[in-house]
């Protein structure tokens, strides 16, 4: 069985005393967006974009860059959907994973999570796939879950397919075949329905249905 820890990569952690020159060799070999900053007890302090490290003198210490520290992470107890959201919302490809005491447990690369999501069972369980789009600033995972569950349906899984031009496109896997009421509720909350559904009364004719999941896999 795949565990979260098995997906972590061996990335260097930064401390206040770390010199930029110490991590440049790693960054030159790996195209990662961020590294984690920790204290002497391996407690998470923040996250620094690797672009920042390239912009300063290599003799600079991280302590002098703390004004550039960002604050995003996920917990080991978070589900895969929440982790996927964190990658999208923070425009990163490497994510700090913390325990409940805020200690850094590891760094999760986006590629590993994506592969794990696509191999998960929610894509093969019986149900309906719904693809929708919403303004990125209006997207909320809790809203999506609430709209689904208020119609006595279950959200089997969710993937963030892409974020482009301030819009986020989502793939939902639902346990119901008839999702007309769910579609109408999403529209009331300004979600645009991208996928084609026979029971959708807002559709006046059949259109060519693109295979969005295959498009995502081939990006």
At residue 74, does pLDDT exceed 70? yes
Question: By the 8 A CB rule, do 14 and 50 touch?
Answer: no
Cα separation, 147 vs 183, in Å, equals: 9
Provide the pLDDT for residue 5: 82
Question: By the 8 A CB rule, do 99 and 8 touch?
Answer: no
Provide the pLDDT for residue 121: 54
Question: By the 8 A CB rule, do 102 and 120 touch?
Answer: no
Strands 94-98 and 74-75 turn out to be: parallel
Nearest to 96 by CA among 80, 83, 85: 83
For residue 210, the cross-strand partners are none
What are 154-166's pLDDT values in tens digits?
988 887 777 778 8
The mean pLDDT of 107-128, rounded to a whole number, is 72
Provide the pLDDT for residue 219: 45
Please tell me what DSSP assigns to residue 40: T
What are 194-216's pLDDT values in tens digits?
887 665 544 443 334 344 444 54
Provide the pLDDT for residue 82: 74
3-state secondary structure (DSSP) of residue 4: coil
For Cα atoms 147, 148, 149, give the angle at the middle one, nearest 5 degrees.
100
Q: Is the pTM of this model over 0.75?
A: no
């Amino acid at each position: 069985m795949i565990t979260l820890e098995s997906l972590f990569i061996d990335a260097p952690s930064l401390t206040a005393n770390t010199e930029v020159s110490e991590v440049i060799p790693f960054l030159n070999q790996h195209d990662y967006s961020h590294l984690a900053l920790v204290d002497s007890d391996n407690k998470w302090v923040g996250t620094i974009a690797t672009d920042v490290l390239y912009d300063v003198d290599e003799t600079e210490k991280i302590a002098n860059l703390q004004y550039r520290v960002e604050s995003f992470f996920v917990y080991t107890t978070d589900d895969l959907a929440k982790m996927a959201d964190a990658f999208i919302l923070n425009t990163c490809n490497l994510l700090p994973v913390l325990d409940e005491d805020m200690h850094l447990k590891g760094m999760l690369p986006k590629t590993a999570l994506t592969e794990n999501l696509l191999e998960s069972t929610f894509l093969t369980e019986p149900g309906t796939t719904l693809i929708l789009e919403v303004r990125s600033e209006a997207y909320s995972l809790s809203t999506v879950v609430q709209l689904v569950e208020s119609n006595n349906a279950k959200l089997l899984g969710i993937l963030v397919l892409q974020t482009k031009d301030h819009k986020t496109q989502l793939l939902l896997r639902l346990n119901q075949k008839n999702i007309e009421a769910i579609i109408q509720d999403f529209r009331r909350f300004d979600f645009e329905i991208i996928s084609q559904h026979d029971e959708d009364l807002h559709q006046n004719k059949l259109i060519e249905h693109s295979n969005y999941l295959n498009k995502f896999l081939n990006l």
